[in-house]
Structure 1
């Protein structure tokens, strides 16, 4: 943990004081914006975390920007850890979107920041609140697509791997019971990507499912 804190501190840079830009609809594919209100100094301070993914790349590393009461106060390459009143805001990203944007209070349980209503994450959260049943069905479908895609890929990859001489000598050969046509493999791969993107909008991430679905 001490090393992670040291590494996160090394990635931090001071802000330039610029004003936070309002979220625009055309920024949906490449911007995420989250909000957090915290008491501090006898008043409630408004924090915002702005991440421009697939844009504003700095040496192939995406940056998270912290705003306090509408002004830029810090930025960091990801994963980021911003010290704020009473705790830390942690930001991380996967290949498909925001993986984590949580406030971790000192001695308390972490909680997710509130996505901006205009952002893709905010629209997905609003859809879940308005249509909880359909939202759960989509979430379950996303998991099933990933489980099926990962399972079939493992079965099909195991066969050629088992024919590598050193592997054959140790465990023998394996004949996969599944041989899917290319078009179906591509379809399942595309479904797995969409499923991981949907899960990223809800800040859900599994190193087994989402990482394997890449």
Structure 2
């Protein structure tokens, strides 16, 4: 984005109403020359996948994700997946990392407070998300392989493969919706596993 196109002294807009559905805000306090400075990173999915950095509510810079945003003492590293922010960490000059905290009122903050108030229910939701993703993975893998072998070059080299899984459209749709919900739950709680979350290619198709 052209820096000259940014409004001068643009300030961070407070969370309002349905903003929770498309805005993610994370914050961290870092030392400044006159005292602590609160740095906030905004990612708004209604716009392009861009990380916008504010210092005490005033715009500093912005960059396309994945982004490295320079701040005193290190950088803020931000990245995303299809279902939301997947990384939001401050990395100090010595390599130590600290995750930024969700701003109060965001969906990530609401999910965290629910986990604090209802730990058992939160764990049950987390395990349910894992189960959904693993089931989808088992069903998606053979279908993905069949699609891959339909590519002429792949078929010529490796042959074709017919998936033993042939699901009706309504079940495919249900699995898509359940997989999307489970993947979103994993993103909101900053959980990531190479095997479990590999399933998201099914719901991104």
1:52 match: 44
Determine the C-alpha separation between the residues in 1 that align with 2:152 and 2:19: 51
1:144 to 125, 128, 131: 131
* Post-superposition CA distance 1:80-108 (Å, at most 9, x none): 11111111111111111111111111123
1:38 to 2, 20, 30: 30
> How many matched pairs?
199
Q: How does 1:10-29 map to 2 (within 5 A)?
A: 13=3, 16-29=8-21
1:93 match: 80
Tell me the TM-score normalized by structure 1. 0.80
Q: Which runs of 5+ in 2 are unaligned?
A: none
Determine the C-alpha separation between the residues in 1 that align with 2:202 and 2:158: 24
Q: Which runs of 5+ in 1 are unaligned?
A: 1-10
Describe the shift of the 1:191–1:40 C-alpha distance in structure 2 as closer, same or farther (beyond 3 A).
Answer: same
Partner SS state of residue 175, structure 2: helix
Determine the C-alpha separation between the residues in 2 that align with 1:160 and 1:70: 48
Partner SS state of residue 183, structure 1: helix
1:62 match: 49
1:123 equivalent to 2:110? Answer yes
RMSD: 2.6
1:4 match: none
